[in-house]
Amino acid sequence: MLGLNLLAVAAGLAAWWGLTAAGAIGLPGPGDVALQALASARDGQLFGDAAASLARVLAGFLLGIALAVPVGFLMGWYAVARGLVEPYVQFFRVIPPLAIIPLAIVTLGIGEAPKVFVIFLAAFLSSVVATYQGVVGVDRTFIDAARVLGAGDFTIFRRVVVPASTPFIMVGVRIGLGSSWATVVAAELIAAQSGLGFRMQQAQLYYDLPTIFVSLVAIGVLGLAMDRGVVALDRRLTAWQERA
């Protein structure tokens, strides 16, 4: 699989180089982007922007997941909690987190809080529904069998519901991570002074395409690395599950 991944990346770079060398597309080639990345890394700008964006994504993402998992369990396990919470979850799900930016600025100011908040909202809304679906989708046969064997509600929840819903939770975590990175660029429009999204916006003003591509590639690489980490955790937590 790794060999195929590397082959796909090499083919993509070759196609990109070929199209730009032939003048088929008005974009910088891989060489120009690599030179700009080296220049940005040499003066520390690239690492500073990457660290700023990564900190915001991690803060919003971890807060979102930390709240989404218990809320999703409550919605799936208790009908009363589902009736009270689900309307709000479904309401905010149809509102793009980016549309919350003006409200976040007015209520939270222009510091780090509104940036982290919109990322948190994106991660939370993407993950809470997956957790809820995982809980309500647990096979009733497992629960009934546990009750017949004398297990109480807490034991059933801990030994049956949590393991059975973990694959759904991890899917929600991956989706939430992608939503967090997708939101960070817009979040950094809020009076940011650093960050990959901020750098892209600055480069746009001067039509600095290589810098835009450097930021895009950096976001992709960081997001992919974090996603691979989540996949590794998923495999560890769901080692009991049969895989194709």
Asked whether the beta carbons of 187 and 101 are under 8 A apart, the reply is yes
pLDDT band at 149 (very low <50, low <70, confident <90, very high): confident
Domain ranges of the chain: 35-236
DSSP 3-state of 137: coil
Tell whether the model's pLDDT for residue 244 goes beyond 70: no
Q: What's the pLDDT tens digit per position in 169-200?
A: 999 999 999 989 988 888 887 767 888 988 98
Candidates 1.10.3720.10, 2.60.120.10, 3.40.50.300, 2.40.40.20; CATH matching 35-236? 1.10.3720.10
In this prediction, residue 234 carries a pLDDT of 86
Residue 73: CB partners within 8 Å, gap ≥ 6? Answer: 131, 135, 161, 165
Q: Copy the structure tokens of residue 39.
A: 């220049």
Q: What's the pLDDT tens digit per position in 196-235?
A: 988 988 888 888 889 999 999 999 999 999 999 998 888 8
Tell whether the model's pLDDT for residue 151 goes beyond 90: no
In this prediction, residue 57 carries a pLDDT of 93
* Sole residue written with tokens 């629960």: 143
Q: What's the pLDDT tens digit per position in 101-138?
A: 888 888 888 788 888 999 999 999 889 989 888 888 88
Cα–Cα nearest to 137, from 75, 65, 71, 230:
75
The angle that helices 112-136 and 45-77 make with each other, rounded to 10 degrees, is 40
In this prediction, residue 52 carries a pLDDT of 92
More confident residue, 144 or 35: 35
pLDDT-above-70 percentage for the chain? 96
Residue 30: CB partners within 8 Å, gap ≥ 6? Answer: 13, 16, 17, 20
In this prediction, residue 97 carries a pLDDT of 76
Asked whether the beta carbons of 138 and 163 are under 8 A apart, the reply is no
Q: Copy the structure tokens of residue 109.
A: 């100011």
Q: What's the pLDDT tens digit per position in 36-91?
A: 899 999 988 899 999 999 999 999 999 999 999 999 988 888 888 888 888 888 88
